[in-house]
Homo-oligomer: A and B are copies of this chain.
Amino acid sequence: MATRIGIGLLGLGTVGAGVATILTSPEGRHPLIAELDLVRVAVRDLNRSRPVAIPQEKLTTDPEAVVDDPEVQVVVEVMGGIEPARTLIMRAIAAGKSVVTANKAVIARHGEEIASAAAAAGVYVLIEAAVGGGIPIIEPLKQSLGSNRINRVSGIINGTTNYILSRMADEGADYFAVLKDAQDLGYAEADPAADVEGHDAADKIAILSGLAFGGPIDRDAIPTSGISNLQSKDVDYATQLGYGVKLLAIAERIESSSDASPALPLAVRVQPTLVPKEHPLAGVHGVNNAILVEGDPVGRVMFYGPGAGSGPTASAVVADILNIAGIRQLNAAPGGLDPLLAASSWRACRLVQGGEIRQRNYVRFNTDDAPGVIGRIGSCFGDQQVSIQSIVQFDASDEGAEIVVITHEVSSGAMQKALSAITALPEVRLLASHLGCL
List residues of A whose CB falls within 8 A of some B CB.
Answer: 2, 18, 21-22, 28-33, 128, 134-136, 139-140, 143-149, 214, 278, 280, 283, 295-306, 309-312, 314-316, 318-319, 321-323, 326-327, 329-333, 336-341, 346
Contact = CB atoms under 8 A, between A and B. Distances in A.
Nearest to A21: B297
Contacts of A149: 28-29
A146 B283 CA distance: 27
Contacts of A148: 29, 315
A341 to B, nearest CB: 7
Count chain B CB atoms within 10 A of each CB in A18, A310, A332 and give the residue with the most.
Answer: A332
12 contacts: A32-B339, A139-B139, A139-B143, A140-B144, A143-B326, A145-B315, A146-B318, A147-B318, A147-B321, A295-B315, A298-B305, A303-B304
B331 A301 contact: no
A30 to B, nearest CB: 4
A78 B138 CA distance: 28
SS class, residues of chain A in contact with chain B: mixed
B297 A311 contact: yes
Given A278-B283, A303-B303, 6 more contacts: A22-B147, A139-B139, A280-B283, A280-B304, A301-B306, A302-B304
Contacts of A340: 30, 32, 322-323, 326
A303 to B, nearest CB: 6
A283 B302 CA distance: 12
A326 B341 contact: yes
A302 B305 contact: yes
A309 B331 CA distance: 38
Given A32-B146, A295-B315, A297-B312, A329 B322 contact: no
Contacts of A318: 146-147
A327 B322 contact: no
Contact of A136 (B32, B145, B322, B336): B145
Contacts of A299: 134, 305-306, 309, 311-312
Contacts of A322: 143, 146-147, 340
Count chain B CB atoms within 10 A of each CB in A303, A306, A321 and give the residue with the most.
Answer: A303
